[in-house]
Structure 1
Amino acid sequence: MKLDFALILTVLTLLCGAAWLLDRLVLARRRAAAGAESGGGGTVDFLASLFPVLAVVLVLRSFVYEPFRIPSSSMMPTLLIGDFILVNKFAYGVRLPVTNTLLFETGKPRRGDVVVFRYPGRNPAPPYDPPAGTDYIKRVVGLPGDVVEVRDNRLTINGQPVKYEGGEVYIGTGPRPAVEMSGTRRFMEELVPGRPHAILDQAPFRYNPGDGRRVVPEGHYFMMGDNRVASDDSRFWGFVPEANLAGRADVIWLNCANWACIDSFDWRRIGTVIR
């Protein structure tokens, strides 16, 4: 069962907030009447002391930036396994924690943005399918109304073929899933003129189950991972509703593939802007 950290944090903040109010409005008066300067260090005092810290964390995480760890190779070579990133929660709108209800809009995803969203699920769901609502991270390829065509991992958008350059052999390092990407080809893809980004690809397949032509519905987005040979994305489970968006991935603040090994930290990735 997936633990919802946002729900846990919200419940704890509300619980501690109730204890803080109880302490300020009721217990403080009793202490004053009794001539005591402070409480007895009980449970209410302890919970009340946590409230300011939890409230600040909840506000920052819900409305400003949320940390997120990359668990898979689906966004290689842009994002590696073990990258810790900051997700801009203000980029596309202010939403309530837990329910994800939109309070007001601040912007729209642009083609090429790297976005964290809640997995919409597929119907029917296979046995290995993660629960709907699981956090996913992919790149925005198709905007509402776009006609997206995928052929051998290459894109044509609204009738215009996307530009590709390069093709050098990629050598993966780190955890096993990353090493297994060695031998694929690294290309530069230009979804937006002047904003190229790297993808992993290989020799064209005879048949690719992700191939096809799609028209993106209003209020939805077509997402793909930069690792085109190992990404479970919109090619296979469809479009992402706007209501599922969590925020835009902005920067890498740490890389650690394995906490147990000091040499698993890649300090060079700290501060890398995600493009």
Structure 2
Amino acid sequence: MKHWIKQNRGFLIFLLCFGFFRLAIADWNPIPSGSMRPTLLEGDVVLVNRLAYDFKIPLTDAAVVALGNPRRGDVITFTSPVDGVRLIKRLVGVPGDVIEMRNEVLFINGSAAEYTVTQRIVEPLDHGVTVEGLRTIEQIEGNERTVQFLPTIGAKRNFGPITVPADKYFFLGDNRDNSADSRYIGFVPRRLLIGRAHHILVSADIKNDWRPRLDRLGERIQ
């Protein structure tokens, strides 16, 4: 064993460095569901900056030092406070914000989002099922993103107003009627934030023929 370790010392050091890099500095995250459509599609693999907010001890939620604060509009990977599953959603409420939704219109601190450039879509679901929907640009608190609504899908379209507690965050999926987000799992503590997703690394159409989506390679996440 000692002889084998000596012979493969360089490779083992590489593995240790690579493991540390992925666990503490940068990571990638496959997108398995449509909760962030149209921003992220099933089959996208996104790059995640683990140092965007905190430097943590690898394999733990223990932060050694804070490096930055999450901002509204960031697309963030985090661990669900309900079941421990890794999720990716858009941050819409930071500590102290008052969040409300009325008939699916988002309000932050009393200001309503504006919706422009609305278009009708046909959205694919599982098992070949499709539903009609609406896709629009949502503008609020200086942020702009494309979101979509699926009126025939049951979702929580009214809540609040609620105040985001200290050291916790409120998330929504861009696919508002098909996302298990903070409307259902509650506020997310900062210690469960993993990192900020910033670019699409690779993408393939996993819902159909697994064909690579070359046009999405390297695309910046808005």
TM-score by length of 1: 0.73
The structure whose Rg is larger is 1
Q: Which residue of 2 aligns with 1:269?
A: 216
Aligned mates of 1:47, 1:242 — CA distance in 2: 39
**Separation in 2 of the partners of 1:204 and 1:160?**
27
Post-superposition shift, 1:49?
Answer: 4.8
Change (3 A) 1:170 1:241: same
> How far is 1:48 from its partner?
4.0
Cα RMSD for the two superposed structures: 2.5
Instruction: List runs of 5+ in structure 1 lacking aligned partners.
Output: 1-18, 24-38, 122-131
| Deviations 1:196-221, CA, capped at 9 Å, x for gaps | 1100114599x953521111110000
User: 1:161-172 counterparts in 2 under 5 A?
Assistant: 161-172=112-123
Indicate conservation of the 8 Å contact 2:24/2:55, yes or no.
Answer: yes
CA distance, structure 2, for counterparts of residue 67 and residue 48 of structure 1: 26
Match of 2:174 in 1: 226
Measured in 2, the distance between the counterparts of 1:88 and 1:210 equals: 31
The answer to whether residue 22 in structure 2 is matched with residue 61 in structure 1 is yes
Q: What residue identity is the alignment partner of 2:186?
A: G
C-alpha change, 1:187 and 1:89, in structure 2 (3 Å) is: same
CA contact (8 A) 1:145 1:217 kept: yes
Change in Cα spacing, 1:49 to 1:144, as seen in structure 2 (3 Å) is: same
Question: Aligned AA for 2:136?
Answer: F
Q: Which string of whole-angstrom CA distances, capped at 9 and with x for unpartnered residues, describes residues 73-114 of structure 1?
A: 000000000001000111001111111210111101100100
- CA separation in 1, counterparts of 2:15 and 2:199? 24
Residue type of the partner of 2:78? F
Aligned equivalents of 2:129, 2:146: Cα separation in 1: 18
**Which residue pairs with 1:187 in the alignment?**
136
Report Cα offsets for 1:250-273 as digits up to 9, x if no partner.
000110133995x62100000110
Offset at residue 169 of structure 1 (A)? 1.0
SS at match of 1:184: strand
Residues 1:172 and 1:265: Cα distance change in structure 2 (over 3 Å): farther
CA contact (8 A) 2:151 2:177 kept: no
C-alpha distance in structure 2 between counterparts of 1:108 and 1:232, whole Å: 24
1:212-258: CA deviation from partner (whole Å, max 9, x where unpaired): 11111100000000000100110112100000000000000110133
Q: Which has the higher contact order (CA 8 A, sep 6+)?
A: 2
Question: Secondary structure at 1:52's aligned position in 2?
Answer: helix
- Give the direction of change, closer, same or farther, for the CA distance of 1:272–1:118 in structure 2 (3 Å limit): same
Which 5+ residue runs of structure 2 have no aligned equivalent?
A: none
Aligned sequence identity (%): 33
Are 2:73 and 1:112 aligned? yes
Q: Aligned residue for 1:124? A: none
Q: Deviations over 1:152-191 (max 9, x none)?
A: 2221111111111122012446xx5497565210010113
2:163 maps to which residue?
A: 215
> 2: distance between equivalents of 1:274 and 1:209?
26
Higher helix share: 1
Residue number in structure 1 paired with 2:100: 149
Whether the 8 Å CA contact 2:92–2:172 is kept in 1: the answer is: yes
Contact kept, 8 Å, 1:93 with 1:107, in 2: the verdict is: yes
**Structure 2 CA distance for partners of 1:95 and 1:229, relative to 1, 3 Å:** same
How many residues were matched structurally? Answer: 221
Q: Give the structure with the larger strand fraction.
A: 2
Contact 1:210 1:236 in 2 (8 A): no
The reply on whether 1:135 has 2:86 as its aligned counterpart is yes
CA distance in 2, matches of 1:177, 1:143: 33
Residue 185 of structure 2 is aligned to residue 237 of structure 1: yes
Q: How far apart, in 2, do the equivalents of 1:178 and 1:88 lie?
A: 34
